[in-house]
């Protein structure tokens, strides 16, 4: 059993990305894996200010901003599989998703202080669910490449992307074929996840001596 956390970057709860995520999660549940979905547009997520205060504590998020990112950090850290679901806006993810990723890369990766610390989420599995207007190889390619680099930097294990195209306003997006592909993607992700060794921090999460 794997706990799945979806960070949902769509502003529309009845939109294309939500529709594509639903059969993915249904299949996850059918296979015995509990899930939760965090709607980022419902959360207060400020942009990262690069203050590096989070680098002072190698055991916690450590961000001084008092918004919803502390809660999101805890959910992400606790899950076995992190799913990033987003429509593509201007060839990348939506603004709250980008803000959350910026905050997480600092809060999780203790690389930026006086001494290099651990990646608190090292080894965690990540998968993408994406909808776009162009063909995926032209519409979602930059997002996927960005996340491949993000995962490598953060020592996360990238398990792939499900990307589906919407042919335009006035056309129906979701159909049976897309639902089947979403279910198959869920099964593929779980198969990969079952084959991975347990995840864990790369180094003991202890603050270096003398760090304030």
pLDDT band at 209 (very low <50, low <70, confident <90, very high): very low
Residue 202 placed within a domain: no
Mean pLDDT, the chain, rounded, equals: 94
Residue 89 placed within a domain: yes
pLDDT of residue 212: 42
Mean pLDDT confidence for 171-193: 97
Residue 207 placed within a domain: no
pLDDT band at 207 (very low <50, low <70, confident <90, very high): low
Residue 169, domain CATH:
3.40.50.360
pLDDT of residue 159: 98
Residue 210 placed within a domain: no
Report the C-alpha gap between 140 and 173 in whole angstroms: 16
Query: pTM value?
Result: 0.93
Question: Range of 187's domain?
Answer: 4-195
pLDDT band at 204 (very low <50, low <70, confident <90, very high): very low
Residue 208 placed within a domain: no
pLDDT of residue 201: 58
Residue 123 placed within a domain: yes
The total domain count for the chain is 1
pLDDT band at 202 (very low <50, low <70, confident <90, very high): low
pLDDT band at 112 (very low <50, low <70, confident <90, very high): very high
In the predicted structure, residue 199 carries a pLDDT above the cut 80: no
Residue 158 placed within a domain: yes
For 14-42, the pLDDT digits (tens) are 999 999 999 999 999 999 999 999 999 99
Spell out the long-range contacts of 17-20 with Cβ–Cβ below 8 A and sequence spacing 24 or more: 17/85, 17/86, 17/87, 17/129, 17/130, 17/131, 18/85, 19/173, 19/174, 20/85, 20/129, 20/131, 20/162, 20/164, 20/174, 20/178, 20/182
Residue 32 placed within a domain: yes
In the predicted structure, residue 75 carries a pLDDT above the cut 80: yes
pLDDT of residue 197: 84
CA dihedral 47, 151, 159, 121 (to 10 degrees): -80
How far does CA 172 lie from the centroid of its chain? 27
Mean pLDDT confidence for 178-203: 88
């Amino acid at each position: 059993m794997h706990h799945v956390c979806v960070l949902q970057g769509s502003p529309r709860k009845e939109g294309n990305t939500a529709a594509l995520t639903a059969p993915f999660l249904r299949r996850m549940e059918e296979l015995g894996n509990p899930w939760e979905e965090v709607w980022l547009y419902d959360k207060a997520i400020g942009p990262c200010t690069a203050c590096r205060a989070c680098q002072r504590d190698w055991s916690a998020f450590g961000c001084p901003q008092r918004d919803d990112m502390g809660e999101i950090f805890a959910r992400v850290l606790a899950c076995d599989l992190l799913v990033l679901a987003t429509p593509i806006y201007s060839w990348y993810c939506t603004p709250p998703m980008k803000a959350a990723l910026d905050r997480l890369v600092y809060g999780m990766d203790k690389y930026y202080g006086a001494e290099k610390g651990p990646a608190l989420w090292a080894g965690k599995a990540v998968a993408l669910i994406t909808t776009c207007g162009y063909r995926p190889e032209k519409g979602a390619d930059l997002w996927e490449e960005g996340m491949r680099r993000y995962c490598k930097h953060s020592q996360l294990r990238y398990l792939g992307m499900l990307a589906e195209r919407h042919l335009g306003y006035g056309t129906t997006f979701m159909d049976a074929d897309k639902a089947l592909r979403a279910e198959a993607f869920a099964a593929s992700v779980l198969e990969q996840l079952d084959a991975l060794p347990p995840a864990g921090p790369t180094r003991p999460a202890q603050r270096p001596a003398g760090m304030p």
